[in-house]
Amino acid sequence: MSTHETNVYITNQSGTDFYSNNNNGIGNFNKVSTGTSMVYADALTDQNGVVYLPMDNPTLILFKSIDEGSSLNQTTLNPSGLVYFSSYALSDGPCGTFIFVGGGSITPSETLGYKINVNTGELTEIILGENVLTNEGRTLFADNKGTLIDGYRSGNGDLVMNVSTDQGNNFNPPIVIASGESHNISRNPFTEDVLVVYQIAGEIFLSVYDNILKNIEIPEINPSISICPSDSFDLPFILSDGFSPNTEFTVSLSDEFGDFSNSTQIGSIITNTSGTINCTIPSNSITGDLYKIQIESLSNCIQSNKIPLIIGKANITGPTEVCENDTIQLFGSGTPNSNNPWTSLNTDVASIDNQGILTGLNSGTTEISYITNNNCIGTYLIEVLESDLTIISISDIQIIDDSNNNSITISSVNFDFGDYEFSLDDEFGIYQEETTFNHVSAGIHILYIRSKNQCETIYFEIYILGFPNFFTPNNDGFNDYWNITGLNNSLYPNSKIHIYDRFGKIISIINTLSEGWDGLYNGKELPETDYWFSVELVDNEGDIRLRKGHFSLIRR
């Protein structure tokens, strides 16, 4: 069985019938007869979706489908080959597409394998590990990165694998896995480890082997690269295992459908360390969003993973939101057109200059267009966020002070509270959605009001009136004077405080603008006891607010 994208391909063991489905195996399968009956058969696909049907009896034959399994055509193999108890694996790589064949137990399949060029039908003999103990002890694994792994059961019962990272041209020293009955080999597509599942005395085991494969990895790029014809970009890559110092790595670009059959080289570098390769898109490239790129090393017959690429659209990067009356910088790929490279579809919402500096004007959305010197166009959606806190004034703030629960409440019919948040005394601290602050200490506070889109923050000075219960005039810098706290002197400029002893005698008359009473009478210290006060607060409108109470003088 094999798959490619949404296509599923199956054949029976004898290869008499070939089945295909283009809906992930859901629904009906199309059936094509091969007109032959063999001993073993398998279905394989390459990276471009071409389907191959190798089979043997023990004479090798090969069928091929280029129309997603609708029809089959036989490929003539030259020379012919024989295989007993076969295992098949397909390798896609920069050196070509090959099907590897191996078997065992019966001469010559104990060590003789084949490398079939699927395009020419050429059959090349290769020497595999000696599989003499078990008929079906051979297991082959190959991938589209140049890897071929030969798994077999040796004469002493060991399960062994030989690894080739250059499509079977060379094999590393054998790796003994365990003494067992059978094994299967695969490659982890995420970590590049080799996974071996094997059986010993009826039990199943798993071994993981890392750092035994050469590998070229292109890191995931999100969003996908979007670029114009003739433009250049740097493609990062990561190498693992040992490459020789003079290894050449080339970057291949697929056609507009993602097919590498007629790929184009767009960059190269000679190195054996990770880095970047500078790539240039051909000037005659067709616009499309199905392109792919990969890195290859022909000398090693190895290639990287593939990543998508978009050609024909200029790439715009930068913020997607801006506040009213604020500016942001947008960046475009390639060389900008010399005549008005940037435009805004709705200039009432936002304007943009030739350097890509955008100014938010009014709330809403607009599409920004950017054009390069080779007329490659990119578009970008910008949202301008509303920023208007001028509708809130100090009259919208209600204060309860000189109470057991001093509070501040924002109450306005002019705005939607769901769009704003509030903080007391900490502009960069935690904001709350609740519009009331309870148990506020007496004194002067700063109330911050911020739009939730963080476009604008305003603040107000809030005065919470309080009358201290005591003071300690000992010149230590703390509570040395008694006075009202949290008084807005601009609101109450003509206020005075009278202080009395317990007999009603006036001890001091202090102005609220002063530091307060220092505990002296005619220059002499008064004793510790309770004293009384009366306050007459006269605001700018002439309204009077009266307050009486008492406090303690404490000497320490």
Q: 379: domain range?
A: 316-385
User: 314: which residues sit within 8 A by CB, 6+ positions away?
Assistant: 226, 228, 332, 333, 334, 370, 371, 372, 376, 377, 378
- Report strand pairing: 331-332 vs 316-317: antiparallel
The rounded distance, in Å, linking the Cα atoms of 371 and 389 is 37
Looking at residue 411, its pLDDT comes to: 81
**Domain shared by 14 and 135, yes or no:** yes
3-state SS record for 347-416? CCCEEECCCCEEEECCCEEEEEEEEECCCCEEEEEEEEECCCCCCCCHHHEEEECCCCCCEEEECCCCCC
The rounded distance, in Å, linking the Cα atoms of 180 and 160 is 10
**Structural domains counted in the chain:** 5
Edge-to-edge strand ranges of the sheet holding 194-200? 182-187, 194-200, 203-209
**Domain shared by 126 and 255, yes or no:** no
Q: Are 155 and 133 in contact (CB under 8 A)?
A: yes
Looking at residue 414, its pLDDT comes to: 62
Looking at residue 418, its pLDDT comes to: 64
Looking at residue 423, its pLDDT comes to: 93
Tokens 């490619």, residue located: 4
Give the largest Cα separation in the chain, rounded: 128
Question: What secondary structure does DSSP assign to 186-212, as a single string?
Answer: EE-TTT--EEEEEEETTEEEEEEE-S-
Look up the CATH number of the domain holding residue 342. Answer: 2.60.40.1080
**Domain shared by 283 and 365, yes or no:** no
Q: Residue 462's closest CA among 390, 399, 533?
A: 399
Q: Are 185 and 139 in contact (CB under 8 A)?
A: yes
Q: Choose the final residue of a domain: 464, 483, 501.
A: 464
**Domain shared by 16 and 156, yes or no:** yes
- The SS3 assignment for 337 reads coil
**Domain shared by 111 and 134, yes or no:** yes
**Domain shared by 192 and 156, yes or no:** yes
Q: Residue 358's closest CA among 379, 373, 343?
A: 343
CA atoms within 13 A on the CB side of 492: 21
Q: Choose the final residue of a domain: 428, 446, 464.
A: 464
- Report strand pairing: 96-102 vs 112-117: antiparallel
- The SS3 assignment for 163 reads strand
**Domain shared by 173 and 303, yes or no:** no
Q: Is the dihedral of CA 501, 503, 505, 509 positive or negative?
A: positive
Look up the CATH number of the domain holding residue 544. Answer: 2.60.40
CA distances from 75 to 53, 121, 434 (A): 10, 6, 77
**Domain shared by 197 and 226, yes or no:** no
- Report strand pairing: 182-187 vs 175-179: unpaired
Look up the CATH number of the domain holding residue 458. Answer: 2.60.40.10
Structure tokens at 25: 């195996």
CA atoms within 13 A on the CB side of 236: 5
Q: Residue 126's closest CA among 112, 138, 137?
A: 112
**Domain shared by 255 and 226, yes or no:** yes
**Domain shared by 336 and 247, yes or no:** no
Looking at residue 301, its pLDDT comes to: 87
**Domain shared by 368 and 459, yes or no:** no
Q: What is the pTM of this model?
A: 0.57
Query: Is the link from the previous residue into 79 a cis peptide, with omega within 30 of 0?
Result: yes
- Backbone φ and ψ of 108, nearest 5°: -95, 10
- Backbone φ and ψ of 419, nearest 5°: -95, 0
Look up the CATH number of the domain holding residue 76. Answer: 2.120.10.70
Q: Choose the final residue of a domain: 271, 291, 311.
A: 311
CA distances from 498 to 87, 297, 463, 514, 515 (A): 106, 94, 22, 13, 14
Look up the CATH number of the domain holding residue 234. Answer: 2.70.50.50
Beta strands, E only, 483-528: 496-500, 506-511, 520-521, 524-525
H-state helical runs in 20-67: none
Q: Is the dihedral of CA 223, 228, 231, 237 positive or negative?
A: positive
Bridge partners of 461, per DSSP, are 446
**Domain shared by 96 and 144, yes or no:** yes
Splitting the chain (556 residues) into consecutive groups of 10 residues, what average pLDDT does each group show? 94 96 95 94 93 95 95 95 93 89 88 94 94 88 89 94 88 94 90 92 94 89 85 93 90 94 94 96 88 93 91 87 92 86 95 95 94 85 83 83 85 68 90 89 89 84 87 89 83 83 90 86 91 85 83 88
